[in-house]
Amino acid sequence: MKHLLAVLLLVTFSATAATPEDFTVRAAAGKGSFTLKEARGKFVAIHFLLKTECPLCLKHTRDYFTKAPTLPNAVQLFLKPDSDNEIEAWAAKLPAEDLAKNPIYRDPYAKLAKAFDIPDGYKFHGQVVHYPATVLIGPDGKEVFRHVGKSNSDRLSFEALAAKVAELSK
């Protein structure tokens, strides 16, 4: 199991950075993956979701998927922190074409959220989870901005992210 987790989530730390320089995550549907280094040259907005059944998380992701084409210099990366079994059960309920068009990626047991120092201790549906957060990685692969919410309704809006990307692009 330890080896399997290492294969699913490759995280490399630099001596000066507090966040991973690179990582690879698998798609929730099991087909495809995302590697941070392959997105160099673009902004990457990493969205740390709560759980698979969070209605506010689902509303948040739908809003971003609808508006994402208006921000072509930023990749939207949505991460689900559930166990692999929970993610697979959730993905099985969705049409494959939806997951292919709008991929959600696995962050089993919130390992990547922990690597990015997203605080936990937030109680949600009887479980303790990390706080909802968005971390923005710049085109050079370094973190340039972060928003950590105080509740599942306190998330960075798409409009606020677009404004931050525009500001940082100057």
Residue 65 CB contacts under 8 Å (≥ 6 apart), including other chains? 76, 101, 102
User: What is the spatial distance between Cα 52 and Cα 100, in angstroms, rounded to a whole number?
Assistant: 17
- Per DSSP, 31 falls in state S
Contact status, residue 61 vs residue 47, Cβ threshold 8 Å: yes
User: What is the spatial distance between Cα 51 and Cα 155, in angstroms, rounded to a whole number?
Assistant: 14
Helix (H, G, I), strand (E, B) or coil at 91: helix
Instruction: Answer whether residue 8 shows pLDDT above 70.
Output: no
pLDDT band at 140 (very low <50, low <70, confident <90, very high): very high
- Position 15, amino acid: A
pLDDT one-digit tens code per residue, 113-130: 999 999 887 777 777 778
pLDDT band at 22 (very low <50, low <70, confident <90, very high): very high
- What is the per-residue pLDDT for 157? 94
More confident residue, 56 or 142: 142
User: What is the spatial distance between Cα 10 and Cα 33, in angstroms, rounded to a whole number?
Assistant: 12
Return the H-helix or E-strand segment holding 135.
strand 133-137
- For residue 49, with 0-12 CB atoms within 10 Å meaning exposed, 13-18 middle and 19 or more buried, which class applies? buried
Contact status, residue 56 vs residue 71, Cβ threshold 8 Å: no
Identify the weakest region by mean pLDDT among 37-41, 86-90, 152-156, 163-167.
Answer: 86-90
Instruction: Answer whether residue 27 shows pLDDT above 60.
Output: yes
- What is the per-residue pLDDT for 60? 85
User: What is the spatial distance between Cα 169 and Cα 70, in angstroms, rounded to a whole number?
Assistant: 15
* Cα-Cα-Cα-Cα dihedral sign, residues 89, 90, 94, 99: negative
Q: What angle do CA 37, 38, 44 make, to 5 degrees?
A: 75
CATH numeric code, 2-169: 3.40.30.10
Identify the weakest region by mean pLDDT among 36-45, 49-58, 96-105.
Answer: 49-58
Average pLDDT over residues 130-141: 93
pTM of the model: 0.83
